[in-house]
A = this chain, B = another copy of it.
Amino acid sequence: MGTSLPASAPQKQRAAQTAARRRRLLEAAVELAHEGGYDAVQMRDVAARAEVALGTLYRHYSSKDQLLLAALADQAGTLRNRLAQRPPRGDRPGDRVADVLRRATRALTREPSITAAMVTALSAPESEAAAAKREVFETLRTIISGAVDGASVPDLDGIVRVLGYVWLATLSAWVGGMVDADEMAADLALAAHLLLD
């Protein structure tokens, strides 16, 4: 396969190919997640759709959860950028945080299968993936931080961290069927107002 490509840049060609493979793998994972959630993301199918051998998939992502977490890190970054486009509405910090959480939740619930797949990976125990999970959590906290803006409360970091926990737990509860999307949104708004107003 590689020999059929134009050898335009004989040096970095290899690196570009593996980067393209990684991208195809993430895309395939997201597509399959879109079609059927966590269970539909089967490693053999991901590899086949990305036109990559199964062993290669495992070389890049050492488990299914790591693969989904990498995809989640992507999506979370995109979400953060998209939310940062337009500043949150509201006078009080609690209002602004509630607004940004509401918009984020709307975006996530619009793609329930993808979100479910990724949140499942996020709440899996696998401590090998702790770093990847912390990265996602960090992005969530950044999203919240950006909305707090000028709050005049002490221990702002603690508040943001607690809100991050609540966000994770409500997402997990929604994916697990414990609450529906409306309850999740309501509890998030409640937490924002309780902690910031």
CA distance A170 to B190 in the complex (A): 19
A48 to chain B, nearest CB (A): 24
Q: Contacts A125-B177, A161-B190, A162-B187 known; list 4 others, CB within 8 Å.
A: A119-B125, A120-B125, A123-B176, A130-B178
Contact of A194 among B123, B126, B127, B162 (CB under 8 A): B162
How many residues belonging to A are interface residues under a CB distance threshold of 8 Å? 35
Copies in the complex: 2
A165-B170, A168-B172, A190-B162 given; A177·B127 CB < 8 A: yes
Bound: A43/B156 CA distance, A: 46
Interface membership of A191, Cβ < 8 A: yes
A 163-197 to B, binary, CB cutoff 8 A, 1 in contact else 0: 00110111011011110000000010011001100
Kindly state the separation between the CA atoms of A191 and B177 in the bound complex, as whole angstroms: 25
Pairwise interchain contact A165-B169, C-beta atoms closer than 8 A: yes
User: Chain B residues near A40 (CB, 8 Å)?
Assistant: none
Whether a CB of chain B sits under 8 angstroms from the CB of A79 is no
Q: Which residues of B contact A177 (CB under 8 A)?
A: 125, 127, 130
